[in-house]
Chains A and B, each alone.
Chain A
C-alpha cells in the first residue's frame, strides 16, 4: 500500500534501531512516554520495543480516549438509553467500557436500550434524520481529533432544523493531561516516574499544532517529539528524543511534519471554539479532577446539549479497588504490575478501561506482548 508500507519497512527499522543503539549512552536509562494510545498500539503491534536497546524504555501515557472516560460518564449515557429511552450513538470501543452495576453500553443494549455503534458523528445525524420520532444522542468522546467532527455534526443538525439530535459532550484536552502528569507528585516530587521526554500526539497535533507543547519543553525541561502513528515514525521520534537528551536540549521537534504544522488546523480550531467552551473541571479516569481539561457545548447551542436537554447530572463513581488503570494511565505502573491483569481482567471481561480499547495499555500488552512476561519456548 502506497504511503503506508514505506512507514513499516523492516530494513529502515533495523537501520534506525542501530542508530539508537549507537547514540544511547550505555551508562544511563532513557524513559520516554508515548502520550497517545495510537503510539501504544503501534509499539505493541509491530514489536517496536524488541528493536530498542534495553536502556531505552517506553512508558504508556493516558492518550486513549476510551481509557480516560470515567465510569460516571458512561453511567450517564446508559441512563439516557435505558431510562430516558433515547437512541444513543457512539464509537465502537465505548460500548465495552465497564460502568456501574455490572453494566456497559453493550450490556445495556442487550437489556433493550437502543444503542448503536457509529463510525462517524455524521452517522448519528443521519439516524436522527431518519427517526424523527426518536431523540438521538451522540455520546461524543475523544481528544482534539474527534472534537471538530462533533462540531460539524451539531452545525449540520442545526442547518437541517433537527429537534431530536443532541450531544453528550465528553471531549477532553491533551495539553491539560500532559500538565497533570508533569505536575503529579510521582514525576515532580518523588521521581518515581522517571520521565525524560514525550512522544507527542500525531492526529491531535494536526488540529492543535505543535505550539501548545512548547510550554512543556520550556517550563518542565522535557523534550517533545511529535510523531506519526506508523512504527517508523515512532522509531525516528525515539532517536530524536535520545539525541535531545544527550545534548541537554529540551525543545519541541516535529517528526510528523507531513501532517503537523506549528499552528495546526485553524479552521477546525475556530469551529471548535465557536461551539464549545472550557469546563471548569472534568474528572478523568486515573487523573481525577483536572481543571480546564474538557469541553462543553456553549449556551448558544444549548438545544444540542444532551446534559441540558435531559437534565442529567454527573456523579463520580470510584473505580474497582483492584484495578490499577489509574496508576497505569499516569505511567506509575505497567499493565503487568496489576494483580488482576490477565487473570480477572481480560479483553473479554475487562474490569478497567485500559483493557477495553486496542489503544489501551493493558489491552495492547495482553493482545500483543504478554508472551514477554513468561518463559516461552521459541520456535
Chain B
C-alpha cells in the first residue's frame, strides 16, 4: 500500500463551473469530468470496464447499426433536450428496422465555456432516456473545441441492435394497395423548436414528441400484421419520408389531407410561419406501410399503445412510374406532396 497521501481534488463545480480546454485534454481534468459527470449518471457495468472499448455479450441474430449526430438549437426545449433526443434518435433508427436496440455509444463535442451545470442536465436526461428504453450507453468520447468553434454541445450517438432472421422491414417493400399509417400527430417536434427559437408566445407551449418508439414497435410486431415498411419521419417530415419510400419501392402514393392528425397549436404555428406540417420534423412518430387486409389490425394495436393513441390511416400505395406522392386536399383538389426543397428548419435535431 502506498504511503503517499491522496491529493485533495476539488469536485466539479456544477453550479458555476464551465467547460475549459483541459476537459478534452486527456489529463486529470478529463478523467474528473468523466468520473463525476458522465459515469455518475450513465454508469453501467460495460461503461465501468474503463477500457478503450466496451466488451458486451451478443445475442443471436443479425446486427443492426445506426448513428445520428445532434446539433439542435436551442439545447433545451419543451418536451425534451439534446440529451434525450440523441438517445431516442438512434434507438428509433434501430427499432424501425424491426430490431431490438441493445447498446449505445455517445460522442460529445463541447464548446469551451459551456456551463457544466447544463452539461449535467443533458447527461442526466440521456441517462433517463437510456434507462427507460433499457439500452445502456456503454462507451463514449469527449472533445472540447475553443469558444466560437462550436455551439455549446453536439452529441453523436451510435447504436447496435439485433434483428431476427425473417424480420425484413425495408423501404423497398411497399406494394400497390398497401395502406399508410402514421402513429400520431405530425410536426410537433419541429414546431416546438421553432416556437422556442422564434419566441412565439403561444398560450399553450408546443411540446416536442421526442420518445423511444421501441415499445410501440414491439406492440405492432406482436399484432402479427404484415408490416412492409417502418420509418420514423424526422427531418423533412412525413412528406420527405414518404417520398423516400415511394422511390425505393418504385410506387406512387395517395394521401388524404383530411386524415392527417395535426395538433391545433402546431397547425396554428405552421400557418403563422408559412410552414407545412407535412414537412416538419417528428422525433417520436413512425410511418408504417402495411398490407391492406392487415391495416385495421395494426391500427388497433397501435391505438392500444400510449404512443399510438392517435394513429391513423392517411393514404394508400398505388402504381406510378413517376413515384409521385400525391394528396387529395381537404378542399377537394389534388396536388403533389413533393420532396422538401432547401432547408425549412435548420438544426432541428
What is A's interface to B at a CB cutoff of 8 Å?
Answer: 1, 4, 8-10, 13-14, 17, 44-51, 96, 119, 231, 347-348, 358, 363, 366-371, 374, 376-379
Q: B331 contacts A367, CB within 8 Å?
A: no
Q: A10 contacts B330, CB within 8 Å?
A: yes
- Least Cβ distance of A364 to chain B in Å? 10
Q: A4 contacts B335, CB within 8 Å?
A: no
Q: Which of B271, B319, B338 contacts A379 (CB under 8 A)? A: B319
Known A368-B338, A379-B176: A1·B333 in contact at CB below 8 Å: no
B206 interface residue per 8 A CB criterion: no
Most buried by B among A13, A231, A363, A376: A376
Which residue of the partner chain A has the closest CB to B346? A117
State in angstroms the CA–CA spacing of A4 and B262 once bound together.
14
Q: A377 contacts B318, CB within 8 Å?
A: yes
Q: Which of A13, A44, A347, A379 contacts B254 (CB under 8 A)? A: A379
Q: Which of A4, A50, A370 contacts B336 (CB under 8 A)? A: A370
Known A1-B268, A367-B341, A379-B316: A47·B333 in contact at CB below 8 Å: yes
List residues of chain A with CB within 8 A of the CB of B27.
none
Which residue of the partner chain A has the closest CB to B343? A106
Q: Which of A4, A47, A347, A348 contacts B331 (CB under 8 A)? A: A47
Q: B331 contacts A8, CB within 8 Å?
A: yes
Q: Which 4 residue pairs across A and B have the least CB separation, nearest first?
A: A47-B333, A379-B318, A347-B341, A368-B335
Interface of A: prevailing SS:
helix
Which residue of the partner chain A has the closest CB to B338? A367
Sample of 12 A–B contacts (CB below 8 Å)? A4-B271, A8-B331, A10-B329, A45-B335, A47-B332, A47-B334, A51-B331, A51-B332, A119-B273, A347-B338, A367-B336, A379-B252
List residues of chain B with CB within 8 A of the CB of A371.
322, 324, 326, 334, 336
Q: B324 contacts A8, CB within 8 Å?
A: no
- Least Cβ distance of A283 to chain B in Å? 26
B45 interface residue per 8 A CB criterion: no
Extra pairs beyond A347-B338, A378-B318 (19, CB < 8 Å): A1-B264, A1-B267, A1-B268, A8-B330, A10-B332, A46-B329, A47-B331, A49-B333, A96-B342, A119-B273, A347-B341, A347-B342, A348-B342, A358-B274, A371-B322, A374-B322, A376-B322, A376-B326, A379-B319
B317 interface residue per 8 A CB criterion: yes
State in angstroms the CA–CA spacing of A370 and B323 once bound together.
12
Which residue of the partner chain B has the closest CB to A365? B336
State in angstroms the CA–CA spacing of A366 and B320 once bound together.
17
Q: A377 contacts B321, CB within 8 Å?
A: yes
Most buried by A among B254, B271, B318, B336: B336
- Least Cβ distance of B259 to chain A in Å? 13
List residues of chain B with CB within 8 A of the CB of A47.
329, 331-335
Q: B333 contacts A50, CB within 8 Å?
A: yes
Q: B331 contacts A13, CB within 8 Å?
A: yes
List residues of chain A with CB within 8 A of the CB of B335.
44-47, 368-369
Q: B324 contacts A50, CB within 8 Å?
A: no
List residues of chain A with CB within 8 A of the CB of B268.
1
- Least Cβ distance of B321 to chain A in Å? 7
State in angstroms the CA–CA spacing of A4 and B264 once bound together.
11
Q: B324 contacts A376, CB within 8 Å?
A: yes
State in angstroms the CA–CA spacing of A370 and B342 once bound together.
19
B198 interface residue per 8 A CB criterion: yes
- Least Cβ distance of A85 to chain B in Å? 18
Which residue of the partner chain A has the closest CB to B324? A371
Which residue of the partner chain B has the closest CB to A42? B331
Q: A348 contacts B329, CB within 8 Å?
A: no
State in angstroms the CA–CA spacing of A378 and B176 once bound together.
11
List residues of chain A with CB within 8 A of the CB of B324.
371, 376
State in angstroms the CA–CA spacing of A368 and B336 once bound together.
4
List residues of chain A with CB within 8 A of the CB of B274.
358
List residues of chain B with CB within 8 A of the CB of A48.
331, 333
List residues of chain A with CB within 8 A of the CB of B322.
371, 374, 376
Known A367-B341, A376-B252: A10·B318 in contact at CB below 8 Å: no
Q: In residues 232-265 of chain B, which contact A (Cβ within 8 Å)?
A: 252-254, 258, 264
State in angstroms the CA–CA spacing of A46 and B198 once bound together.
28
- Least Cβ distance of A224 to chain B in Å? 24
C-beta contact mask, B165-206 vs A, less than 8 Å → 1, else 0? 000000000001000000000000000000000100000000
State in angstroms the CA–CA spacing of A191 and B124 once bound together.
71
Known A1-B264, A1-B267: A377·B320 in contact at CB below 8 Å: yes
Most buried by B among A4, A8, A348, A371: A371
Most buried by B among A13, A48, A379: A379
